[in-house]
């Protein structure tokens, strides 16, 4: 065999042998890195379960036309007050999963109302006329759900154990609406729908010292047509009665304000506006 033909073949054979010899250690190193990353993420993983009760003022209106036709609903009526709603109860539950600076959350805020009242003036709702003096019974569902992500920036003081953290993020929301109103004479108005939306905001967590901390949150809707716009702001004081930041349980007490808006694109739109607050918050969390 000529030397010129032999030399390229020898080089190729050497390269194959070298790659074969190195591929095992390289693949093993990659597997080791993946194992370390997976272990690090799991080792720092924490889960927080929250349950809260809120009560406060409710105001707003539930404009409900029929087919979007003008004249089938009074403008920005019925109001909550005229059909018997003034103070209401709210239940909230959420799960927060954290790994290092990354926080993922899912929550549900349940708002269920039942009331009755005597109308002081004529009311048109979903093309049904309810004369003044009519006794109306109604039920309202304003549940909304959220799924979000936040990234935490934290400053810790080793001297006194204080810690300040801010976590900006974004949430997707789903608003479930159901309104049912009846009156004698087979009068009835009924409307329900579900609408999604987006919002941005941040949470604050200030561990002052010992078991006491202050937490705040503010979320504002991203304005888009035909979507639910849900704003919520709250400030709570937190007392850690067992455990620490990564594992333990605490009580909450504070104040909150919520606002829900939805308006579609019909000539006379479905137009809902709900203002709840100030509300008192009481609740607890459990972390593990």
Tokens of 58: 């409710």
Residue 269: predicted pLDDT: 97
Beta-carbon-side half-sphere exposure of residue 33 (alpha carbons within 13 Å): 6
Residue 32: predicted pLDDT: 53
Beta-carbon-side half-sphere exposure of residue 184 (alpha carbons within 13 Å): 8
Look at residues 48, 50, 51, 52 and name the one whose alpha carbon lies nearest to residue 256.
52
Q: Using 50, 70 and 90 to split pLDDT, how confident is the model at 247?
A: confident
Residue 103: predicted pLDDT: 97
For residue 9, is pLDDT > 90? no
Residue 156: predicted pLDDT: 86
Residue that wins the pLDDT comparison between 23 and 238:
238
Average pLDDT of 173-190? Answer: 97
Q: At residue 241, what are phi and psi to the nearest 5 degrees?
A: -95, -5
The mean-pLDDT minimum among 29-38, 125-134, 229-238 falls in 29-38
Residue 125: predicted pLDDT: 98
b/e 5-32 (16+ beta carbons within 10 angstroms → b): eeeeeeeeeeeeeeeeeeeeeeeeeeee
One-character DSSP codes across 21-81: HHHHHHHHHHHHHHHHHHHHHHHTEEEEEEEEEEEEEEEEEEE--STT-TTSS-TT-SBTG
Q: What is the C-alpha to C-alpha distance for residues 112 and 141, in angstroms, rounded to an integer?
A: 5
288, 63 in Cβ contact below 8 A?
no
**Torsion-angle region of residue 37: left (phi > 0), alpha (psi -120 to 50) or beta?**
alpha
- Mean pLDDT, the chain, integer: 88
Q: At residue 21, what are phi and psi to the nearest 5 degrees?
A: -75, -30
pTM of the model: 0.83
In angstroms, the Cα distances linking 109 to 142, 145, 203, 217 are: 9, 6, 17, 15
């Amino acid at each position: 065999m000529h030397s010129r033909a032999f030399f390229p073949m020898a080089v190729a054979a050497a390269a194959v042998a070298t790659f074969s010899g190195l591929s095992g250690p390289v693949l093993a190193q990659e597997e080791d890195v993946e194992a370390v990353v997976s272990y690090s993420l799991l080792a720092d993983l924490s889960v927080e379960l929250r349950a809260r009760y809120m009560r406060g003022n409710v105001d707003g209106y539930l404009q409900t036309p029929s087919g979007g036709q003008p004249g089938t609903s009074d403008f920005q009526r019925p109001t909550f007050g005229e059909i018997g709603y003034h103070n209401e109860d709210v239940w909230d539950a959420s799960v927060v999963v954290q790994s290092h600076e990354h926080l993922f959350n899912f929550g549900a805020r349940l708002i269920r109302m039942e009331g009755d009242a005597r109308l002081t003036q004529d009311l048109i709702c979903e093309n049904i006329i309810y004369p003044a003096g009519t006794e109306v019974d109604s039920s309202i569902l304003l549940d909304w759900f959220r799924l979000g992500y936040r990234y935490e920036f934290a400053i810790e003081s080793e001297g006194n154990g204080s810690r300040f953290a801010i976590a900006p993020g974004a949430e997707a929301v789903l608003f479930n609406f159901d309104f049912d109103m009846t009156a004698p004479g087979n009068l009835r108005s009924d409307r329900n729908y579900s609408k999604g939306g987006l919002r941005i905001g941040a949470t604050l967590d200030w561990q002052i010292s010992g078991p006491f901390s202050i937490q705040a949150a503010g979320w504002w809707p991203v304005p888009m047509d035909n979507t639910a716009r849900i704003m919520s702001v709250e400030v709570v004081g937190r007392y850690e009665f067992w455990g620490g930041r990564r594992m333990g349980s605490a009580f909450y007490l504070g104040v909150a304000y919520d606002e829900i808006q939805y308006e579609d694109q019909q000539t006379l739109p479905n137009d809902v506006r709900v203002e709840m607050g100030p509300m008192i918050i009481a609740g607890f969390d459990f972390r593990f």
